[in-house]
């Protein structure tokens, strides 16, 4: 039977963002990493909460504001407890939150990202066009990863192999946007996909 398989992947960050900033102690641009610790300042019913980053070289710290002048009553007890406990999951969640870096005017080091692909879901429809595959790779962080590299990650092939398959027309790039790409193929390259 002929069928159309649609498979969706997402590029996921494995680690928090690393940022670049002038370090006053090192006296030059340095890389700062997530300590996965929070700093909390509670003054009456007003809260300030920061995520602490530190210079990889000298451990000079840099605080990224998560909440500033926020009413205690506006965050849940559970969330507040997580901040008090330096909850690692919560610290990682903020460490991957691009908006936090934007509002703190912190430059993310895009050359130091560790990422992978995660399969989200798959649908199979019957079709009259033979075996067709349409693969979408979502890129929610809009990381600058070449489409060939994205295809290579999904298929478990090298970038050169993908390049040659694209040239031969065995893979066709059907959509290329900063937030996602789609490619199609009728070639059964996907038997190797877990
Ligand atoms: Zn430093």
The CA 74 to ligand 1 mean position distance, Å, reads: 35
**Matching residue, tokens 């210079």:** 55
- Do residues 48 and 40 touch, judged by C-beta distance below 8 A? yes
Banded pLDDT at 131 (limits 50, 70, 90):
confident
Q: Give 137-159 pLDDT, tens digit per residue.
A: 999 888 889 999 999 999 989 99
Helix (H, G, I), strand (E, B) or coil at 129: coil
Q: Answer whether residue 194 shows pLDDT above 50.
A: no
Of 129, 151, 130, 131, nearest to 139 by C-alpha is 151
> How far apart are the C-alpha atoms of 117 and 32, rounded to whole Å?
25
- The yes-or-no verdict on residue 46 having pLDDT over 90 is yes
Mark the residues whose beta carbon lies below 5 A from ion ligand 1.
23, 25-26, 30, 55, 57-58, 60
Confidence of residue 113 (pLDDT cuts 50, 70, 90): confident
Q: Which two tokens mark 26?
A: 């090192």
Tally of CB atoms within 10 A around 58: 13
How distant, in Å, are the alpha carbons of 100, 111, 149 from that of 46? 20, 37, 47
What's the 3-state SS for 159-181?
HHHHHHHHHCCCCEEEEEECCEE
CA of 53 to the centre of ligand 1 (A): 11
Q: Which helix (H) or strand (E) holds 155?
A: helix 147-155
How distant, in Å, are the alpha carbons of 6, 71, 73, 184 from that of 113?
28, 34, 36, 27
SS3 call for 44: coil
Residue 152 three-state SS = helix
Q: Please state whether the predicted TM-score (pTM) of the whole model is above 0.85.
A: no
């Amino acid at each position: 039977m002929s069928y159309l398989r649609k498979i969706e992947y997402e590029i996921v960050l494995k680690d928090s963002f690393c940022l670049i900033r002038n370090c006053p102690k090192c006296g030059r641009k340095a890389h700062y990493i997530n300590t996965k610790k929070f700093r909390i300042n509670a003054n009456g019913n007003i809260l300030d909460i920061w995520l602490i980053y530190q210079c990889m070289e000298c451990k000079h710290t840099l605080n990224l504001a998560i909440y500033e002048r926020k009413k205690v009553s506006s965050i849940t007890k559970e969330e507040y407890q997580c901040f008090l406990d330096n909850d690692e999951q919560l610290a990682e969640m903020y460490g991957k939150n691009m908006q936090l870096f934007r509002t703190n005017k912190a430059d993310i080091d895009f050359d130091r990202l560790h990422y992978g692909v995660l399969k989200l879901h798959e649908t199979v429809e019957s079709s009259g066009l033979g075996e067709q595959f349409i693969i979408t790779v979502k890129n929610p962080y809009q990381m600058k990863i070449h489409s060939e590299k994205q295809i290579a990650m999904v298929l478990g092939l090298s970038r050169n192999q993908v390049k040659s398959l694209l040239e031969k027309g065995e893979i066709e790039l059907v959509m290329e946007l900063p937030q996602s790409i789609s490619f199609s193929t009728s070639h059964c390259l996907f038997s190797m996909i877990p």
